[in-house]
Amino acid sequence: MSEARVLSDAPWLRSGPAARVLALLNGDGEEARVIGGAVRNALLKIPLGDIDIATTALPDEVVRRARAAGIKSVPTGIDHGTVTLVVESHPFEVTTLREDTETFGRKARVAFGRDWVRDAERRDFTINGLSVDAGGVVHDHVGGLADIEARRVRFIGDASQRIAEDYLRILRFFRMHAAYGAGEPERADYLACIDGREGLSSLSAERVRMEMLKLVIAEGAAVAVQAMADAGLLLAIFGGVAYTRTFAAMIAAERALGLPPNAVRRLAALTVAVTEDARRVSARLRLSNAETKALDSMGHRWWRFASKDEARARQLLYRLGEDPYRDRLMLAWARAGVGDDTTRWHDLATLPQRWSAPKFPLKAADFISRGIAQGPALGHVLTLAEDAWLAADFPLEPSELAAIADQAAARFTRDHRL
């Protein structure tokens, strides 16, 4: 099955930090290659991301060579053969070739080796099993080149075995398909994910969160998420209903507005109808405080945008602020369906670019002069007046402001006499 191809247009292999690490680790009987995602992305002509390197050299030899060259080394996973080298502020994970002799879920007993084929065969997907040497020759021992050409995501070897080694690979299968695949997921691998879905319960919330937040912003997320729903995987992950049509509509709304993908916004579209949904999903995925706050905000009375009234929208923009306003409105838009009065939704979503809310112009002194004592009473009257100012559509004329102040003070006084 082994195949080789020359990677053209890869200047990072000829000069720069990655080339320096390869030169350091090649020679004197040892060989090093760039592996995995960087090779895949280079072939697809998309940004490389992290550059990981595999080598025949043992970890101690990697550290020795780095020290001799004045390069910082960090033993980030030395028990499994991984040393991180830092060159020109760029970290490179360097891992000795290895094979799993026994696996225990995510953990494995490994043996270091010098066999590039065996090392490739222990990886997850064919498109991640490629390596490229310093000369630009891409080595393929698992059929990854053909799968990249076909935009096909497949497990290396037996899919069920790969999944049993680490059940997170179920989520990674759909994430890889969303990012690099085309059409429907590969049938045999898809069925293996369904067979192994009970294993998802063994995963930590943190690992599931990481994969799902990456998955939902991938280019082909709508197809992948629908396939996961059809397979019964989303209920196991979120513990509740998944709204795949709303998710697809959110993606369409982002694109209509020219916005970059937003993971929390898309997660809300997929999982949130009310704030209780947001709290459940936040707890199950152990979202960060900021993510939890954003998800909860989107679920809070998003339906108030349903009238698509711009005067009401201005009030909400004033109350919420620009980002929460846009996110909550976009959830309302997605739940309505992108085909529902698209022009009006677009106008409301771009309101922050067309209108800036003024500051509430009335001050405490305006009410003290009207006989309101300082303390809780003053705060209450200010709230009454601000509500009236919003309802009147933000007037700034002195006569209108005086009328609002008079009415608020009179209402407070009357209510507290009853």
In tens, the pLDDT along 342-362 reads: 889 999 999 999 999 999 999
Output the pLDDT for position 413. Answer: 85
User: Which pLDDT band, with edges at 50, 70 and 90, does 103 fall under?
Assistant: low
The average pLDDT across 299-327 equals 92
Output the pLDDT for position 308. Answer: 83
Do 212 and 237 touch, CB atoms closer than 8 A?
Answer: yes
The residue behind tokens 């179920």 is 170
pLDDT at 397 over 90: yes
Contacts of 115-122 with C-beta under 8 Å, sequence gap 24+, read 116/33, 116/54, 116/141, 117/2, 117/141, 119/54, 120/156, 121/156, 121/157, 122/98, 122/156
Phi-psi region of 159 (alpha: psi -120 to 50; beta: other; left: phi over 0): alpha
Q: Tokens for 388, please give them.
A: 């009236």
Grouping H, G, I as helix, E, B as strand and the rest as coil, residue 148 is helix
pLDDT at 195 over 70: yes
Grouping H, G, I as helix, E, B as strand and the rest as coil, residue 315 is helix
The predicted-structure confidence for 117-168, as pLDDT tens digits, reads as follows 999 999 999 999 999 999 999 999 999 999 999 999 999 999 999 999 999 9
User: Which pLDDT band, with edges at 50, 70 and 90, does 2 fall under?
Assistant: low
pTM for this predicted structure: 0.88
Of 46-55, 195-204, 303-312, the one with minimum mean pLDDT is 303-312
User: Which pLDDT band, with edges at 50, 70 and 90, does 99 fall under?
Assistant: confident
250 burial (CB, 10 Å; 0-12 / 13-18 / 19+) is buried
The predicted-structure confidence for 208-228, as pLDDT tens digits, reads as follows 999 999 999 999 999 999 999
Residues 150, 142: Cα–Cα separation, whole Å = 14
Do 82 and 95 touch, CB atoms closer than 8 A?
Answer: yes
Q: Which residues make Cβ contacts (< 8 Å) with residue 209, sequence separation at least 6?
A: 285, 286, 287
Q: Tokens for 308, please give them.
A: 């698509």
User: Which pLDDT band, with edges at 50, 70 and 90, does 415 fall under?
Assistant: confident
CA dihedral of residues 298, 301, 306, 310 (deg, nearest 10): -80
Output the pLDDT for position 255. Answer: 95
pLDDT at 182 over 70: yes
User: Which pLDDT band, with edges at 50, 70 and 90, does 286 fall under?
Assistant: very high
Output the pLDDT for position 418. Answer: 46
Across the chain, mean pLDDT equals: 93
Picking from 74, 92, 96, the residue whose alpha carbon sits closest to that of residue 17 is 92
Please give the residue that has the higher pLDDT: either 340 or 155: 155
Q: What are phi and psi of 112, to 5 degrees?
A: -75, 150
Picking from 367, 361, 303, 296, the residue whose alpha carbon sits closest to that of residue 336 is 303
Output the pLDDT for position 417. Answer: 62
What end-to-end distance do the CA atoms of the chain give, in Å?
A: 89
CA distances from 373 to 369, 380, 406 (A): 9, 11, 15
The residue behind tokens 């006499």 is 417
Output the pLDDT for position 101. Answer: 64
Picking from 218, 221, 220, the residue whose alpha carbon sits closest to that of residue 242 is 221
Residue 101: CB atoms within 10 Å: 9
pLDDT at 7 over 90: no
pLDDT at 192 over 80: yes
DSSP state of 96: E
The predicted-structure confidence for 63-98, as pLDDT tens digits, reads as follows 999 999 999 999 988 888 999 999 999 999 999 998
Output the pLDDT for position 92. Answer: 96
The residue behind tokens 């709304």 is 253
pLDDT at 189 over 50: yes
The average pLDDT across 99-105 equals 61
Output the pLDDT for position 174. Answer: 98
Please give the residue that has the higher pLDDT: either 347 or 416: 347
